[in-house]
Structure 1
Amino acid sequence: MSVVAFERKQNTGEWSERELSTILAALSAATAPGTGREWETGVTERGDVQFYLLSPLPDQACELCVSRIGGRYILEDGSGRLLFEHRNLDLVALHAKAAVPSTSWLMVRVIMLWCAIRSATDEKLDLMLLEGEELFVQFVPQLAAFA
């Protein structure tokens, strides 16, 4: 891992209203009430501000992090991988919006449940049809004797 030395300014410990509103506007779909996601701000040990997009309860894992170090904004995913960095917060916010998955976790679970139910019922239905077909094949010759 390489370390990059950033220029530091004093009193960098808070987000401005404009900065927060820019980030929240870009992530408005991700932080909507139905998604279960929340956001939080924090400060590094060096006094640099950070914005965290947290996954729904109970995990509340960090999905996305925007940091301001010196005059640069750094966008990282939940694993700490660098996604984008720039001095323009609007560009970073656009990349943050694109980095957030649009499908909610609830929708993914509903789709998975639907596929599991459909798979189980298809297997049972196939077995019932095959058994019925075998019975039909066994009784047809005997029914032909009556004709």
Structure 2
Amino acid sequence: MRRQPIRTQRMLCLERVDVHPVWTWLALIGVVIAVALALFGLPPVDLHGPLHRLGIMDPLCGATRSWYLTTQGQLREAIRYNPAAPIILGATVVACARAAVGWATGRWVTVRVSRRISLPHMVVLVIAVAALEINQQLHAELLMAPWRR
């Protein structure tokens, strides 16, 4: 009996159209925000929710300061405020580079992932978000302090 080969789908492929336009536009908006932070600094308005004032940090706490510090080349300080934010900013820049190549060549690099998240991947995701939340809560004093630059 001859075995049938396992069919696998390529994870990276080229498309004639952007099959992820929402992510492309979100990335472009993110880069505009990063450039604005680099040029003008942090916004003069308080972006914190009510739980922040009670000392309860969320995983995104410190992300604006972290993006600003990343754009200023202060990666170590940026990671203190939010270790996930520089990674998200890097992914944003990569997505914008993908868009630039796609618009210039008419070929879009597409990352294909399963719509179903496997249990091991879900566990890793939950652990990562929980670790980020714990990290942010441990740095609540830093994150609640007024910005002094």
Instruction: Place the TM-score, normalised by the shorter chain, in its bin.
Output: under 0.3
Highest Rg: 1 or 2?
A: 1
Bigger relative contact order (CA 8 A; separation at least 6): 2
| TM-score w.r.t. length of structure 2 | 0.26
Q: Which has the higher strand share?
A: 1
Q: Which has the higher helix share?
A: 2
| TM-score w.r.t. length of structure 1 | 0.26
